[in-house]
Amino acid sequence: MRIAVIGAGNWGRNLVHNLSDMDVLSHVVEQKVDHLKEISSQFSEVECLDSFDVLLESNIDAVAIATPAQSHYEIASAFLKAGKDVFIEKPMTLCSKEASELVDIAKLNNSILMVGHMLLYQPAIQFIKTYLEEGHIGQIYHLHQERLKLGRVRSKENVIWSLGVHDIAVLLYLAGSAPEEIQCSGHSGVQEQIQDDAYVHMTFQSGTKGHLHSSWIWPENSRCMRIIGSKGMLVYDEMKQTVTLHKKRIGEDLENIDEGEETLFEGSAQPLRLEMEHFVHCIKTRETPISDGLSGLAVIRVLESLELKNEKNN
């Protein structure tokens, strides 16, 4: 198998290292000369290019795109039309129109289209998905996610596009559908029109509620999810990579029931490596990826809806 990485910046290099370790990396395309020289010196067996045009008619099987988001559509559409399988880092595109077109182009050309929502490949998230589907905590009332820290402030994208996009993908994945209703509120303190701290509230067809709090101006680091069900509650600590069952609920007599807690899952793996292995598996088997084009499109539609609501609120 031959996979080319398009874009070898800070994150693209991680794709390069993983695909090289998996012995499937054939080419790296990077426009910055210093980055390209560095890659060439580290991976002598890989062909390094400053343009992807020649690869469109080559015998590579797929590409992994890690360029700036505004270029995703142009590059991905070109390779999909050339019959190649495509992995795109998040966000898939900057608008739902382009994302929808990529889904259609992939379908027309029988190509795999996969989006880099890496958290879906955390073993803990896969455990939680199965645990919920098996009904262990009953009806899911609501899911709460938070990603909070004193973090890197962006000048062109708000905190939801930067940090919350990961968690929106997880919420939609665990809920099993796109939301029917979305509400949001946020605060722009450091820069005008760029939210530093934001809350998102979603309602799904099942009646389940999803709540997200994202901030890059927060005194403590917190990456946590809490899932409240009719028969129990789960707490996923992303930093510790643990899933804890709290055997708490409200009885039919409206009395509290607390039967203690139990750690159900503990441990971690490299989600990026698992994600790349899944991409390779889908290329070989033609299976639909967990984070396929349709799931990526659903995330972009949520982000777009949030932007529209923020514009109205402002």
- Domain 123-268 fold is Dihydrodipicolinate Reductase; domain 2 (3.30.360)
Q: What is the mean pLDDT of residues 270-280?
A: 97
197-229 pLDDT tens trace: 999 999 999 999 999 999 999 999 999 999 999
How do the domains of the chain map onto residue ranges? 3-117, 123-268
99-151 pLDDT tens trace: 999 999 999 999 999 999 999 999 999 999 999 999 999 999 999 999 999 99
In the structure, what pLDDT confidence band is assigned to residue 314 with cuts at 50, 70 and 90? Answer: low
Its pTM stands at 0.93
Query: Which tokens hold the place of 130?
Result: 């199965």
- Domain 3-117 fold is Rossmann fold (3.40.50)
